[in-house]
Chains A and B, each alone.
Chain A
């Protein structure tokens, strides 16, 4: 039963605040993805939990115990690095056994544990291999095994699959998810890939400039983004700014009845929620710029008179021609003002 508590943690480097008064509770057995662009502070946060950076202020607790000032070797955390960071002068067995040897376990027990964890990550019988002889995916599995064998309370993964190709990444993340659920290990996973976060996480924490933008279940982050940043960062999103006056949102291409107070507002419409309809020649709110056929559906790139580009998903590419004038009908949309949600329809 391991719970991670991050309370008001900040980290200031000489010129920047990498993490800014960040708080998060991770429940036992939960897998939380920290998602954000590079520079959002997600890796710094993870490194503070692992003990590789010291917070400028705030507290990190594991099962209620304050670990904020403990060095990494005295924390019950296990970290998997982006670059796998395997020790190239040791073979697979010795890489995994290193931490067990430090704990002065009997040799027989070490052997059993290493074999068991190698089996868990699908590398049974690879103990004698040299780590440089392994493929990128295998190396990352050894790195995972090296962390898991020490039975950490909290598993930390810092963009572990970033250097692998798409196909392998998808397979490994499913394996990681399986292993994580089987062991019930509390896990924090840093990534800048939204598909990775959506596929893996019990909960996604979207970070920006060292702060939480939104922390929610994956489907909520996608369907009900709390801020325009989240809306734009997760999935594909059309964002246009306009004015609300007399209960109508107005933009060169949109006029929508809304129950919102007057003022400027940002309209967010998913491509799959934006319908297009043929318009008469010389009219229409937008013109079709490009049609990309994906077989099961198609994406239409639209060009507005002011140069803005929007995307709409359509079922059949063959119904549309480049240059054709169209009207836009959002089926569902959200309005944001001052980086906050104003209304959702």
Chain B
């Protein structure tokens, strides 16, 4: 509790080094991709494109399949996240606050789903979906992507609910609130910053999810990442891929802006038990 004397902050060289390294490996490739997307002509050995322009943006955005894929990806992510929240949040509350047989085993089974190579699992599921006529349908992809969100949407909210002081809930009961009212007015608001970060993670994760969407959804259901893969495979024009990449970053950027608040409050780290 003692107030320390104001320390002269020593220059944090290690921190700076990390920041520089991160910038190099993350920001530089992003800058290159962005530059590519605005390059009409860029030939070796020039350091900068010979001609800047919006040619490939116009060409990409003029394609109806890009827009439909973008819309589809957004819809998919929203639907998957909403269903996931509806299923996982009550489950997370149960994990956090109730004792029931098999609780721990069930809790760690969500980790098991992520711990093994996904592709084998997907192929097996695809075989089952084929019989259920879910292959190449919207809801088939929703189902498969739902599985990918479970870990985030259960583990993080569990930590969030566990971090809510029981006494706060009891005080609300004491003031005359019933159990549901307590959950709505006390527990959920207390846990909401962390839960919000879980929802964002699940939304962005679903938006970028490729293997499931491709294996279950192809050929009718073409999400943005799936479309990008086919672009890159069919036309070795770097600019197409670059434009699509930049488009794909949009949800991430939006998410980042929101998450900053959450991360600053420290509850994000708490969600991971930090």
Contacts and interface: CB of A to CB of B under 8 A. Distances in A.
Interface of A: 50-52, 71-73, 77-79, 81-83, 85-89, 98-99, 102-103, 143, 146-147, 150
B176 A102 contact: yes
6 nearest A-B pairs in the assembled complex, by CB-CB distance:
A99-B175, A85-B167, A72-B173, A85-B171, A89-B189, A102-B176
B65 interface: no
Given A73-B177, A73-B178, A88-B190, A98 B167 contact: no
B186 interface: yes
A98 B175 contact: yes
Given A73-B178, A81-B167, A88-B190, A98 B172 contact: yes
Which among B165, B170, B175, B178 has the greatest number of chain A C-beta atoms within 10 A?
Answer: B175
Contacts, number: 63
Nearest to A90: B189
| Secondary structure class of chain B's binding surface, majority of residues | helix
A87 B178 CA distance: 16
Given A52-B170, A72-B174, 13 more contacts: A71-B173, A72-B170, A73-B177, A78-B174, A79-B174, A81-B170, A81-B171, A83-B167, A85-B171, A89-B190, A98-B175, A102-B181, A143-B171
13 contacts: A51-B173, A73-B175, A73-B176, A79-B170, A79-B174, A81-B170, A85-B167, A86-B168, A88-B190, A98-B172, A98-B177, A102-B177, A150-B176
Nearest to A143: B171
B190 A73 contact: no
Interface residues of B, number: 17
B185 interface: yes
Contact of A87 (B171, B173, B176): B171
A99 B176 contact: yes
B148 to A, nearest CB: 31
A23 B172 CA distance: 28
A249 to B, nearest CB: 49
A87 B191 CA distance: 12
Contacts of A77: 174
Which of B165, B171, B177, B190: most chain A CB closer than 10 A?
B171
Nearest to A83: B167
B190 A146 contact: no
A78 B167 CA distance: 13
Contacts of A71: 173, 178
B194 to A, nearest CB: 13
B176 A85 contact: no
A46 to B, nearest CB: 12
B128 to A, nearest CB: 44
B191 to A, nearest CB: 10
Nearest to A165: B1
Interface in B111-135: none
A146 B175 contact: yes
Contacts of B167: 81-83, 85
Contacts of B174: 50-51, 72-73, 77-79, 147
B134 to A, nearest CB: 42
Contact of A79 (B171, B177, B178): B171
Contacts of A52: 170, 173
Nearest to B167: A85
